[in-house]
Amino acid sequence: MNVQKKNRNIGAALLFFIFGLLFFVLAVRFFTIQYTGEVKGQALAAKAAQMYLRTDVIKAKRGTIYDREGEVIAEDSASYTLVAVLDGALTADPEHPNHVVDPRKTAAELSEHISLSEQEIYDLLTKDGRKQVEFGPAGRDLSHRTKEEIEKLELPGIGFIKDTKRFYPNGVFASHLIGYAQREQSDGKPSEIVGKAGLEKSYNEMLIGKDGSLQYKGDFWNYILPNSKKQVKEPKDGKDIYLTIDKKIQTFLEDAMNKVDQDYSPSRIFAIVADPKTGAILGMGQRPTYHPVTREGIEKTWHNEVVESSFEPGSTMKIFSLAAAVEEGVFNPNTKFPSGKYYLDKKQPPIKDHNQGAGWGDITYLEGVQRSSNVGFAYLLEKMGTDTWRNYMDKFKFGQKTGISLPNEASGKILYDWPIEKVTSVFGQGTTVTSMQMIQAASAIANDGKMMKPYVVKKITDPASGEVTETKPEVSGQPLSPKSAKKVRDILETVITSDIGTGNQFYQLDGYSVAGKTGTAQIAAPGGGYLQGRENYIFSFLGMAPKDDPKLLMYVVVEKPKLELDENGAMPVSEIFKPVMKSSLQYLNIEPEEQKDAVITEIPDLTEMSVQKATQYLTDRGLKPILLGSGKQIVSYSPTQGEKLIEGEKVIIRTDGNLSVPNMKGWSKRDVLKVAKLAELKINMVGSGYVMKQNIKPKSRVSAGDQLVVNFAPQTEIIEKNKAKKTKSDEEPPLD
């Protein structure tokens, strides 16, 4: 018994010692921590504060993109994501539930407001194990109006997460220039809107801004603790960008391109409207295009064709070879050259004019420009020299990037090694350019010799500091004198006003004079050579108006349009150029030019005059006398005595000599009937429009009663090409 008692005492003493030692260690540890305020080198006060410290991100606003007048093109806007709480444990008060109580009713009512069926919503709301669900794309990016409509339903467990999205109020609107931005999340960072294409991408660092923060002490439920202080770091919003694009002009351009795209189904369209005095781009677009919100259509082309694509320009390049010849003093409008074919040497096929090399005989260089004669420009190259022309291509900055602030700009390529390449470059074959290069070069013609660098950003503003960075117009060269530039404009105007000009029937504007040049360029084939067929061309027009002091410069390109047999490539191009140019001039309050009063001449009795005197009388008054016969006395004429004619009309005169028929190519039916009546010929007219061909050769003798057969068509030169079948001529440009 004593032994047991003794053992218990020893055990008690041992336990007392152990507990006493533990108490001592804890006491020492307690007083050490209390004294130092640290554990393992870390301050406990900081740790305690950290437990209660809450940090919220204050999102910066992405910069807004405006047009030149301050109209919004791209901006941030509020959006909402629909969520449903399914966990019943989150409801503390059954009278006011915080979770979805009736999935069937909830599904039925939500299906009226989002693009999911009632059954699809019900399936989401009844999935096992889910505490909260979203509704996929149908429940994201909801507008504030949709949010309010759903809230009015007072559906338990239905709520919203507020977010921000990029909003493009104009829809398809210079989409490849503006680009698009979308929300992204990476590396565990908070999601943010990031530019993915166009200006949204190239100016992303300026637009994106810098997020701020809010720090405070909060409890377990994130409520702010009493007497706690908040620390706020204000966000730095992104910078705002003002473009040179004018919303009205861009809208004119979008509408016109839509119509041509629908009517002609071309493979590509791109067009630019610019201010030649400054280089500011006022409108710019292409087809195919895409919607910046839905990205619908982006799979067809995501490139900005205006700056990223190079191509052979065709005869619009003749504007600049003409300018070089004028500046060098080698262009004499009245000097003649043999049109049709030009032989560089006997070993190579000749360079042909676009009417299958038939030409128009010996014609003046002015007529060569109006008819867009490749041969005429080959002879001009001889006059100025190949080294001189190469120097002018550098002056006009072909083969060089313009430096416009857009990504992936192409430079084009000048092929100038072989003699044939040097000749073809004067009429736009072999050498490649971009649309933006053409606009820059043409600004020298429109701006009295000063070439302006193109730009699309007018200014950048910092909303925090108010700092404004403006883009100032920049002269990129002066390849011409003011005198030469004006002379070139005068010559190019005749391409539009002359009866034989390639732009005569397509590019005239009521109230405004236009100077410009048409182009029909071949398309390089993937395996070498060029594509064949009447539609496989790039049709274009580079024009400016008003001619004497151009306020607008415009370049339109339409590739491979679907054409009817009586149509040519100038038609879709003109259906963009004409309405956009005229509407834009009127919008800018450019007063129409004064129209000259038409010269009206009353026809006298021509039988009282000699043929020579009558011809001179009519010519002096701007009329065109046409002689039938080789005699010296006038027998009859049409229109008859007393009729009134305006400048440019024809007067058919029959003399007493041997009768002959004139070349009536391009004439109207009315004038052909005058010839048939005066010559007493039997007439058979086929088709409609203008004379394509006649069965009696010009200047050959005829007698009364002979049969005259005349074929008509809407366009004289293209119909021969359209009707040719599987011949080399079918592959020549239909109109240039």
List Cβ neighbours of 220 (8 Å cut-off, separation of 6 or more): none
Give me 219's structure tokens.
């409890």
Q: What is the pLDDT of residue 64?
A: 93
Residue 228, pLDDT above cutoff 70: no
600-731 has the same fold as 56-243: no
The pairing of strands 475-477 and 451-452 is: antiparallel
Highest average pLDDT, of 57-71, 350-364, 647-661, comes from 350-364
Beta strands across the sheet bearing 690-694? 682-686, 707-713, 690-694
Q: How many residues appear in the chain?
A: 736
- Residues with Cβ within 8 Å of residue 150, at least 6 apart in sequence: 82, 110, 113, 142, 158, 160
Q: Determine if residue 619 is left, alpha or beta; phi over 0 gives left, psi from -120 to 50 gives alpha, anything else beta.
A: alpha
688-699 pLDDT, tens digit per residue, is 667 888 888 888
Q: Residue 413 — very low, low, confident or very high, per pLDDT cuts 50/70/90?
A: very high
Class of CATH domain 600-731: alpha beta
Residues 241-269, mean pLDDT to the nearest whole number: 95
Residues with a known catalytic role: 315
The answer on pLDDT for 47 being more than 70 is no
Residue identified by tokens 């437990």 is: 51
Cβ proximity of 721 and 728 under 8 Å: no
Domain boundaries, the chain: 56-243, 247-587, 600-731
Burial grade of 176 (CB within 10 A; 0-12, 13-18, 19 or more): buried
Span 511-525, pLDDT tens digits: 999 999 999 988 888
Instruction: Look up residue 33 and give its DSSP letter.
Output: H
Taking Cα atoms as reference points, which of 666, 369, 298 lies closest to residue 505? 666
Q: Which amino acid is at 404?
A: I
The CA-atom distances, in angstroms, between 736 and each of 246, 426, 533, 560, 704 are: 31, 14, 16, 15, 39
19: amino acid identity, one letter? F
In this prediction, what percent of the chain has a pLDDT beyond 90?
43
At 54 the three-state DSSP class reads: strand
Q: How far apart are CA 639 and CA 605, in angstroms?
A: 11
SS3 for 505-537 is: CCCCECCECCEEEEEEEECECCCCCECCCCCCE
Per-residue confidence (pLDDT) for residue 39, from 0 to 100: 56
Strand order in the sheet with 552-559: 281-287, 268-274, 552-559, 537-545, 515-522
**CA–CA gap between residue 242 and residue 12 (Å, rounded):** 89
- Per the CB < 8 A criterion, the answer to whether 652 and 675 are in contact is yes
pLDDT at 220: 46
Is residue 158 helix, strand or coil? strand
| The CATH number of domain 56-243 is 3.90.1310.10 | yes
- Give the Cβ contact number of residue 490 at 10 Å: 15
Q: What is the DSSP letter of 130?
A: -
C-beta neighbour count of 138 within 10 angstroms: 18
Concatenated DSSP letters of 373-404: -HHHHHHHHHHH-HHHHHHHHHHTTTTS----
The pLDDT of residue 402 is 96
| Range with the poorest average pLDDT among 20-29, 32-41, 47-56, 606-615 | 47-56
Supply the pLDDT for residue 507: 95
pLDDT (0 to 100) of residue 145: 85
CA dist 426 and 396 (Å) reads 13
pLDDT at 57 over 70: no
Tell me: pLDDT of 573 over 50.
yes
Residue 430, phi-psi category: left (phi > 0), alpha (psi -120 to 50), beta (remainder)? left
Query: Which of helix, strand or coil describes residue 466?
Result: coil
pLDDT grade for 594, boundaries at 50, 70 and 90: low
State residue 165's pLDDT score.
84
Q: Which residue has the tokens 């117009």?
A: 473
| pLDDT for 343 | 93
pLDDT score, position 600: 75
Q: Which span out of 144-153, 218-227, 307-316, 670-679 was modeled with the highest average pLDDT? A: 307-316
State the pairing for strand pair 634-638/682-686: unpaired
pLDDT over threshold 60, residue 226: no
Rounded Cα distance, 20 and 367, in Å: 120
For the chain, what is the radius of gyration of the CA atoms? 40
Mean pLDDT, rounded, for 443-458? 97
Residue 183 bridge partners (DSSP): 193
Q: Which has the closest alpha carbon to 423: 481, 380, 457, 476?
A: 380
Question: Which is the CATH superfamily of the domain at 247-587?
Answer: DD-peptidase/beta-lactamase superfamily (3.40.710.10)
Whether 110 has a pLDDT exceeding 50, the answer reads: yes
Cα–Cα dist 411/494, whole Å? 32
**Model pLDDT, residue 221:** 45
pLDDT at 497 over 70: yes
Q: Using an 8 Å Cβ cutoff, are 179 and 405 in contact?
A: no
**Which phi and psi (to 5°) does residue 163 adopt?**
-145, 180
Task: Tell me the backbone φ, ψ of residue 511, rounded to 5 degrees.
Answer: 90, -10
pLDDT, tens digit, 9 for 90 and up, residues 476-487: 999 999 999 999
Helical residues (DSSP H) of 290-398, grouped into ranges: 305-308, 318-327, 365-371, 374-384, 386-395
| pLDDT tens digits for range 639-664 | 888 887 777 788 988 888 888 888 88
pLDDT of residue 490: 95
DSSP 164-200: EEEE-TTSSSSHHHH-EEEEE--TTPPPEEEEEEHHH
8 Å CB contact between 365 and 380: yes
Q: What is the mean pLDDT of residues 608-615?
A: 86
Poorest-pLDDT segment among 138-147, 192-201, 414-423 = 138-147
Instruction: Confirm if 442 and 319 have CB atoms less than 8 A apart.
Output: yes
* Model confidence band, residue 311 (pLDDT cutoffs 50, 70, 90): very high
Range of weakest confidence among 174-188, 346-360, 424-438: 174-188
Average pLDDT, integer, range 392-411: 94
Burial code (b: 16+ CB inside 10 Å, e: under 16) for 446-455 equals bbbbbbbbbb
Q: Please state which of the ranges 66-75, 525-534, 541-550 shows the lowest mean pLDDT.
A: 525-534
Q: Average pLDDT over the chain, rounded to whole?
A: 85
Q: Which of 590, 508, 568 is nearest to 543 (CA)?
A: 508
Quick one: which of 61, 64, 58, 60 has its CA closest to 461? 64
**What's the average model confidence in pLDDT over 161-188?**
84
